[in-house]
């Protein structure tokens, strides 16, 4: 092979390591192993996750773009703290954006939209499996993919990105407590209810489900 081929192979290995480290870091964040407000250096995290500092730094920069950590110059990365007031703000943003958009999707869906909506059912099954396995990272991955794919049916990619970031920030520190409180099963069920409301073309029911679902962000039931 040419040198270019070798370079591609090396790049593939680096990408693989970066993806592994990113998944492990996300798991540590969601599971609370990396504490909110604490600062971690790339070398320390590299030792912890059996990696070199470079893929750790790259993975942490990806997480910083998602708002899960903050860059501390010349030091490392601070795990983002989400206050109750910030959770309230994030919940309000999501409610203002998601409820009417999901209502629109239900009310005005086409046959093609219905096919896309039905294709989301495997993600609900993935959430159920993740819940049974107590795999919060897998749950968060399926949950995020479900909501972003559902919202994408509306056709506004900017809205999808705004909601995705808000969801990741609000889910970061409350997913484990939600599971411990026994509310994760109810949250999963609401995904199935969203699919059925959309297929039934029921705007009002959809908006009530979405409002209740967003209420879990604060660890309580929203009043719809």
Tell me the per-residue pLDDT of 135-148, one tens digit each, with 9 for 90 and over: 887 888 899 899 99
DSSP 2: -
pTM of the model: 0.78
pLDDT at res. 218: 64
**Domains of the chain by residue range:** 3-79, 84-218
- The beta strand positions in the chain, using DSSP E, are 39-40, 69-72, 76-79
In the sheet with 76-79, reading across from the earlier edge strand, the strands are 39-40, 76-79, 69-72
- Which CATH class, in words, describes the domain spanning 84-218? mainly alpha
Give percent of the chain above pLDDT 90: 51
DSSP 217: G
Show the DSSP H helices in 35-174 as ranges. Answer: 42-48, 53-65, 84-108, 111-118, 121-132, 136-152, 157-171
Q: How far apart are CA 88 and CA 113, in angstroms?
A: 32
Enumerate the β-bridge partners of residue 39.
Answer: 78
Q: Which fold has domain 3-79?
A: Arc Repressor Mutant, subunit A (1.10.10)
- The pLDDT confidence band at residue 112, using thresholds 50, 70 and 90, is very high
Model confidence pLDDT, tens digit, residues 158-198: 999 999 888 877 766 666 666 766 678 888 999 999 999 99
Q: Which is more confidently placed, 202 or 59?
A: 202
Count of alpha carbons within 13 angstroms of residue 108, beta-carbon side: 9
Mean pLDDT of 17-32: 81
Angle formed at CA 57 by CA 29 and CA 35, multiple of 5 degrees? 25
Task: For residue 190, give Cα distances in angstroms to 29, 186, 214.
Answer: 25, 6, 10
Mean pLDDT of 55-72: 89
């Amino acid at each position: 092979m040419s040198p270019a081929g070798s370079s591609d192979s090396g790049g593939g290995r680096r990408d693989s390591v970066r993806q592994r480290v990113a998944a492990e870091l996300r798991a540590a964040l969601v599971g609370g192993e990396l504490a909110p407000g604490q600062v971690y250096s790339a070398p320390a995290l590299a030792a912890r996750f059996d990696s070199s500092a470079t893929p750790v730094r790259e993975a942490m920069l990806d997480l910083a773009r998602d708002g899960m950590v903050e860059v501390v110059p010349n030091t490392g990365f601070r795990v983002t703290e989400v206050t109750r007031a910030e959770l309230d703000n994030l919940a309000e943003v999501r409610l203002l954006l998601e409820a009417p958009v999901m209502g629109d999707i239900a009310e005005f869906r086409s046959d093609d939209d219905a096919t896309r909506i039905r294709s989301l059912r495997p993600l609900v099954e993935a959430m159920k499996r993740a819940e049974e396995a107590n795999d919060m990272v897998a749950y968060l991955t399926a949950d995020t993919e479900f909501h972003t794919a559902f919202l994408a049916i509306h056709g506004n990619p900017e809205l999808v990105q705004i909601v995705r970031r808000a969801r990741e920030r609000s889910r970061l520190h409350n997913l484990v407590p939600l599971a411990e409180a026994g509310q994760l099963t109810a949250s999963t069920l609401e995904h199935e209810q969203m699919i059925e409301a959309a297929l039934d073309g029921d705007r009002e029911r959809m908006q009530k489900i979405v409002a209740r679902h967003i209420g879990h962000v604060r660890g309580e039931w929203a009043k719809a």
